[in-house]
Amino acid sequence: MRSLLASTALIKADLAQLARNWVLRGWLIALVLVLFFGLTSTLVGARLMSVPASTVVTTTLAGFLVIWSMVIIVLSAGSVGPEADIVSDSILSRACTRNQYIVAKLISRVIVVLGVYTVAASVAGFAAYRYAACDVTVSTLIVGISIVGLAILLLVTFGVLFSVMFNNTIVSVVALLRLWYVASPVFSFLGAEYLSPASLIRNLPAILKDPHAPQVVECSATPTSINVVFSKHVDPRSAENPGNYTIECPPGVNHMAEAATYDRTKTTVVLSGLTLTAGETVQVTARGVTDPGGTQVSAASDTATCVVPGEKPAAAKPAAKPSQADKTPPRLVRMEAAMSSIRVTFSEPLDPDDAEDTASYLIENPVGRQHAARAATYRTDNRSVLLSGLDLDLNVPIKVTVKDVRDVAGNAISARGNSLVHSEVTPWKYVLGFGLPALIAAALAVAWFNRRDL
């Protein structure tokens, strides 16, 4: 009980000392001003031009990794050195133990730094979620903020460790600054380049974004209109562009809607100004429609079909499509990966025989290690090929290269557009990569301080 009271008293004393620290006070003032003016200008501008919420949050979180990290390093790396004489007197007089002192330093620094970070990140996250183009979910926000918080926790624990090791504030601050800002080659040497601050900033938008692309769920038709239902909210500007919809009725006969009207409450678009044949099948494909964050409709679910009410006229015949010479080679435009399959989407319809030849696909996972698909299934409606029968590791990049594939006009795929790389962002790797070293650094700080001469 006495040990707990002593530890609590040390933590409170260190928190009170930090509250009087002008480095911390200056940081809080600067952070409030930057957040207020940065978020205000960004969100006001969002009324004129769509700004993804993931971009707003990434900018705020990146500030802690690049700019505010200097303040965090000063606060943590200067925790023990300036108090060397006071510490030795307190420990030798048995006012406190070594463990109580260094643990109090760790806890107080973590409370202050992570407390400030959590408040700032939460404010930015709420503002972006509420007022920007929302391409995030509550769960992705929590994951993104938590990952950066773990990186900051790692920085704090290393700061206290360096303060114990060097016993000189300037040396420990400079050493940690050099380590933090040249972290990319260090992490790359250790085989974990994704943990470097620069790499984390690049990956933050992917971590924060809603992983589910919008899908075309169903459609219904009348002789003059089509009602298209989406799986989630979409961007009104892209949804209300009639050119983003391909309408065929009957198959092979194209129609162009005169207007597209989006109903946000029902996540539906009404395509009007059409002349459709009763009893015929309508196929509508949405391309170029995105969610508020810019994620396009899933290539695997961008098409729906329905039947126009009424009886089909006996003499109804599809109109012939004018043929045009096609000299544009096909190219890969999209790639989606799962543990046992890969779906690749092409820019043009392909020759089915070429598309379903598994020898036409070179699959590397990781890059340099080849895999062979057992089957290739081609869908003509969305120009995609499903490569199945695979055993993939989603934690490392997946590369697909296509060769000897032609479109329906006989054009061979171009070498400039025949490969794509898929890299999956896995939050658990960041949890282990930042959390485990933070615990190790904290344990080393305690052990080093216990063996240090006072």
Looking at residue 232, its pLDDT comes to 85
End position of a domain, from candidates 241, 276, 297: 297
Give residue 72's pLDDT band: very low, low, confident or very high (50, 70, 90). Answer: very high
Instruction: Report the pLDDT averaged over residues 211-235.
Output: 86
Burial label, 278 (beta-carbon count in 10 A; 0-12, 13-18, 19+) = middle
Distance, in Å, from the CA atom of 228 to the CA atom of 236, rounded to the nearest integer, reads: 14
Dig out the tokens for 119 from the structure: 């408040």
What is the model's pLDDT at position 68?
A: 93
Same domain, 245 and 195: no
Q: pLDDT value at position 296?
A: 79
pLDDT band at 130 (very low <50, low <70, confident <90, very high): confident
313 vs 421, residue with greater confidence: 421
Same domain, 110 and 255: no
Please answer whether residues 357 and 382 qualify as being in contact, where contact means their C-beta atoms are separated by less than 8 angstroms. no
Based on the domain organization, do 197 and 230 belong to the same domain? no
Are residues 108 and 234 both part of a single domain? no
Q: Which pTM value belongs to this model?
A: 0.68
**37 and 164 within one domain:** yes
**Using omega within 30 degrees of 0 as the cis cutoff, is the peptide bond preceding 366 cis?**
yes
**265: Cβ–Cβ under 8 A, 6 or more apart, which residues?**
none
Task: Kindly state the tokens that stand for 436.
Answer: 């485990």
Is residue 307 assigned to a domain?
no
Q: Does one domain contain both 285 and 393?
A: no
Token pair, residue 197, equals 């601050």
Answer whether residue 325 is part of any domain: no
308 in a structural domain: no
Q: What is the pLDDT of residues 7-36, one digit of tens each?
A: 788 888 888 888 888 989 999 999 999 999
State what percent of residues in the chain have pLDDT above 70: 88
Query: Position 162: which residue type?
Result: F
In a domain, 326, yes or no: no
Q: How far apart are CA 145 and CA 122, in angstroms?
A: 8
**DSSP letter for each residue of 371-419:** E--SEEEEETTTTEEEEES----TTS-EEEEE-S-BBTT-PBPPGGGSE
Tell me how many domains the chain contains: 3
Q: Are residues 197 and 227 in the same domain?
A: no
> Has residue 382 been placed in a domain?
yes
Write the CA distances from 410 to 136, 310, 321, 405, 417, integer angstroms.
42, 40, 19, 9, 16
Q: How far apart are CA 447 and CA 30, in angstroms?
A: 36
Asked if the structure places residue 440 within a domain, the reply is yes
- Same domain, residue pair 77 and 8: yes
Does residue 122 surpass a pLDDT of 90? Answer: yes
If you average pLDDT over each of 173-182, 355-364, 421-430, which comes out highest? 355-364
CATH number of the domain that 243 lies in? 2.60.40.1220
In the prediction, which pLDDT does 79 show? 80
Domain boundary among 276, 297, 318: 297
Model pLDDT for residues 131-158, shown as the tens digit of each residue: 887 778 888 899 999 999 999 999 999 9
Residue 136: inside a domain: yes
Q: Are residues 285 and 396 in the same domain?
A: no
Same domain, 139 and 231: no
Q: Which of 278, 297, 316 is the last residue of a domain?
A: 297
Residues 16 and 80 in one domain: yes
pLDDT at 313: 60
Task: Average the pLDDT over each of 73-87, 162-176, 229-243 and give the range with the smallest value.
Answer: 73-87
Give 370's strand partners: 364
Which residues span the domain enclosing 349?
A: 332-417
Answer whether residue 314 is part of any domain: no
Residues 128 and 228 in one domain: no
Structure tokens belonging to residue 4 = 């707990």
Top mean-pLDDT range of 35-39, 208-212, 316-320, 367-371:
35-39
